[in-house]
A and B are shown apart, each in its own frame.
Chain A
Amino acid sequence: MYDFAYHRAKSAADATALLKGKSEGRAMAGGMTLIPTLKQRLARPSDVVDLAGAKDLAGIKAEGGGLTIGAMTRHGAVATSTEVKSTIPALASLAGHIGDPQVRNRGTIGGSVANNDPAADYPAAVLALGATINTTTRKIAADQFFKGLFETALGEGELITSISFPKPEKAAYVKFPNPASRYAMVGVFVAKTAGGVRVAVTGAGPGVFRVKAMEDALAKNFSSAAIKDIKVPTDGLNSDIHGSAEYRAHLVGVMARRAVDAASK
C-alpha cells in the first residue's frame, strides 16, 4: 500500500471540506473495498478522508412510510434492525447475506452503493425498490444513479449521505453466490411497490440492470409462472471462469422465479 494523508471527518460537511481541492483524495466508508484496493496498489490516493466519525451519516429512520438509511450504516446494523425487518424484510435479509459477519460489521450501505461493484448486492435493492440516493448536493433517483462498471452519477467530491427506500407491498432478493468468493454470480431483487413491479439483476452484467419483459409480465400476474418462458438475452452479460454468459442468463431466470415465489409467501 502506498502511504497517504489520513483525515477524520466529523460530519458530511466536514468531509466535503476536507476533500475540496484534493483531486486525488478519496472518501473511506467501511473500507471493505478501498483497503484491499490500496493493498493491491490499484489506487494511489493522496488523501483518505475517513467518514466513520461523521455521526450525521449513520442511522436508520422511518420516514414517509418507508426507510431512510444513513450512508455509514453498517450491513450488520441493517440486517439486525427491527425497523428494517418489519418495513422491508427483503432488505434486512440481503444485508445479512453480504460477505461474512466480519465484513458486515465494517462495510456500509453508502460505500457499497457508491462503489457500484457489478456483483454487489445493495445496487439490486436500490434499483428494484426505486430508492432515492441522497447526496451532499442533491437527490438522485436509482434509475439515474448506476452508470455501469464501478460508475455512478456521483460527481467529484459528492458523497452519499443516505438512501431512502419506499415500503414495498412485496419484495425478495435471491442470489446464487459464487461458492468461493460468495459474491453474487447472479442476484435478483424483485419488488412490487406503488410504482409498479421492478426486477433488478446484479452479478450478471457490467452493472445492475432491470429486466423489462419480466416486469411487464409480473405487473399483469405476480407469479413465477408468469415469467417462466422469458429468456434473458446474453448480450453484454459477463462471461468468465466462473460461468458463461449463457449460464448467467439462465440463472437470472431461475433466481427471478425464486425471488417472486419468496416475495409471494
Chain B
Amino acid sequence: MSISVSMTVNGKAVSGKVEARTLLVQFLRENLSMTGTHVGCDTSQCGACVVHVDGQSVKSCTMLAVQAEGAKVMTIEGLAPSADKLHPMQEAFRDNHALQCGFCTPGMVMSAVDMVKRHNYQLDEATVRRELEGNLCRCTGYHNIVKAILAAAPAMKAAGV
C-alpha cells in the first residue's frame, strides 16, 4: 500500500511515496539518496542510523517513515553550517582522530550533539561513556570519540549551536 509522507529534512520540505513498512532510514537513503545515515545492525543496537527527529536523537532503523510525518528531521548532512565549515562536533572528531573506519561516525556525531545539548554543554568522561550506550564502534575506537565529545561541548557552547 502506497502512502504519501511529507517532512522537513535538514530544513528542506520533502515528500515521497512509501509503504507503511518503509523505515525512516530507508526513506532517507533510498527515496532521498541521503546516504550519510548508515544502517549497521538494523536491530536498534548499534546507533549508526541515529538522526534527530524534532530535536531528539532516534534510531532511524527502528522508526517507520510514516511515523515521521510532519516532523523536522536532521541528518548528518544537515549539521555543518556551510559547505566549507564543519559543525564543532565534526571538527572535534577530526581534531581528535575520533574515527577509524568511519562507519559508526554519522551516528556517533548525531548522538553526541544531542548528548551535549541535553546535558547543557556540561559533560564529564563517565557521563559521555554512559550516554554512548546506544552507539557501537566495531573498531573499538571509543577513547578518541569520548575525547572529541568532551572537546566539542565547550566549542558548541561558544559557537552557540
Contact = CB atoms under 8 A, between A and B. Distances in A.
A102 B20 contact: no
B134 interface: yes
Interface string A31-57: 110011011000000001010100000
B3 interface: yes
Contact of A6 (B66, B111, B134): B66
A5 interface: yes
B34 interface: no
Contacts of B105: none
A76 interface: yes
Contacts of A31: 62-64, 67
Given A36-B44, A102-B59, A103-B44, A50 B114 contact: no
Contacts of B50: 102
Contacts of B23: 35
A182 B44 CA distance: 13
The CB with the most chain B CB atoms within 10 A, among A38, A52, A100, is that of A100
B9 interface: no
Contacts of A102: 44, 47, 50, 57-59, 111, 134
Contacts of A39: 42-43
Interface residues of A, number: 25
A2 B19 CA distance: 10
Contacts of A103: 44, 59, 134
Nearest to B52: A105
Contact of B62 (A32, A48, A52): A32
B133 A100 contact: yes
Contacts of B44: 32, 35-36, 102-103
Interface of B is mostly: mixed
A87 B155 CA distance: 36
Nearest to B132: A100
A1 B21 contact: yes
A10 interface: no
A38 B63 CA distance: 12
Nearest to B107: A102
B144 interface: no
Contact of B19 (A3, A105, A182): A3
B134 A101 contact: yes
Contacts of B67: 31, 50, 52
Closest 4 pairs (CB-CB, A-B): A100-B134, A6-B20, A100-B133, A1-B21
Interface of A: 1-6, 8, 31-32, 35-36, 38-39, 48, 50, 52, 76, 99-103, 105-106, 182
